[in-house]
Amino acid sequence: MKIRVVDYMTRNVYTLSPEATVADAIELIKKTGHDSFPVVDSENRLVGYVSAVDIVGAKPETRIRDVMSKQLYVARDFMDLRDVARVMFRTGHSKLPVVDESNKLVGIISNADVIRSQIERVDPLKVEKLKKTLEKVHGVKVNVERGKVEVSKLIPTQSKVYADELRGRIHEIKRGLAEPVIVIKKDSRYFLVDGHHRAVAAMKLGIVELDAYLISVDGSVELGIEKMAKKKGLNSLRDVEIIEDVPHPLVEITFRNMG
């Protein structure tokens, strides 16, 4: 399945005006922790790009238009993310502005987003495998569609999430990133199969709907996950326990305090 830039780009982008000053850029670096920014005009058209390297040695009152780069590599939201990754790798750029046909800024894609697309994306093969398993086990036809699901209606099938992973998901959603969750729809009930950290993060942020793969199952079928959720007393995302003092297993495996 083609992975597009639009699926992983950050839509909420910090920008600078060409009339802003180097002092403004320094303040934005301090505020955001980022080291480079697209430069846009009053109509949000991309006119340049400025990095921390560009402003080194410049006077605080210097206008951004005088230090910004004007020859830019850009991406389009419909492009294959792998092609964009190749451009970034070959040119040494860690970020590319994403523009529309009118050269208006619609997002930004970073090398971190490229990595994330490989390790965190919902693989359609996973959805297809679950569909076939349900059909084989229960002997029924299962329908899959992409749509929206109300966060408040989700019934979890996992009783715990990790606080450190949850903070990461909250950060991603605030940046405009939201992986689709996988949900089994049975009658008017929605059983969350994959994406518990994302769903709990959305609940905490007050987000009403999430993008989802919806797997519809006949109401007469008794699902194993349905029994499990009932046994654990899971009726809504509020029943999911947040583990505060134990790191996510992957973090525990990869992190070592060398002090």
Could you report how far apart the first and last alpha carbons of the chain are, in Å?
44
The predicted pLDDT at position 184 comes to: 93
Evaluate whether the domain defined by 122-254 bears CATH number 3.90.1150.10: no
User: Which residues, 6+ apart, have CB-to-CB distance to 169 below 8 Å?
Assistant: 197, 198, 200, 201
In SS3 terms, 127-159 reads as HHHHHHHHHHHHCCCCEEEEEEEEHHHEEECCC
Are the beta carbons of 21 and 63 closer than 8 angstroms? Answer: yes
Q: Identify the band that residue 118 occupies on the pLDDT scale cut at 50, 70 and 90.
A: low
How do the domains of the chain map onto residue ranges?
A: 5-118, 122-254
Torsions phi, psi for 140 (to 5 deg) = -130, 160
Q: Identify the band that residue 257 occupies on the pLDDT scale cut at 50, 70 and 90.
A: very low
Q: Which tokens is 89 given?
A: 């790798």
Q: Identify the band that residue 153 occupies on the pLDDT scale cut at 50, 70 and 90.
A: very high
CA 61/CA 54 separation, integer angstroms: 14
Strands annotated E in the chain: 36-40, 46-51, 95-99, 105-110, 143-150, 154-156, 160-162, 181-186, 189-194, 209-217, 241-243
Q: Which tokens is 38 given?
A: 């697209």
CATH class of the domain at 5-118: alpha beta
Give the number of other CB atoms < 10 A from CB of residue 208. Answer: 10
233 or 1, which is more confident: 233
Tell me if residue 124 falls in helix, strand or coil. helix
Q: Is the dihedral of CA 133, 134, 139, 145 positive or negative?
A: negative
Torsions phi, psi for 43 (to 5 deg) = -105, 15
Is the pTM value of this prediction over 0.75? no
Query: Is the per-residue pLDDT at 1 higher than 60?
Result: no
For residue 225, CA distances in Å to 186, 195, 222 come to 12, 15, 9
Q: Of the candidates 121, 181, 188, 125, which has an alpha carbon nearest to the alpha carbon of residue 151?
A: 181
User: Which residues, 6+ apart, have CB-to-CB distance to 253 below 8 Å?
Assistant: none
For residue 114, CA distances in Å to 6, 9, 29, 120, 249 come to 12, 9, 23, 10, 23
**Nearest 5°: CA angle at 179, between 5 and 197?**
150
Q: Identify the band that residue 253 occupies on the pLDDT scale cut at 50, 70 and 90.
A: very low
Average pLDDT over residues 161-181: 80
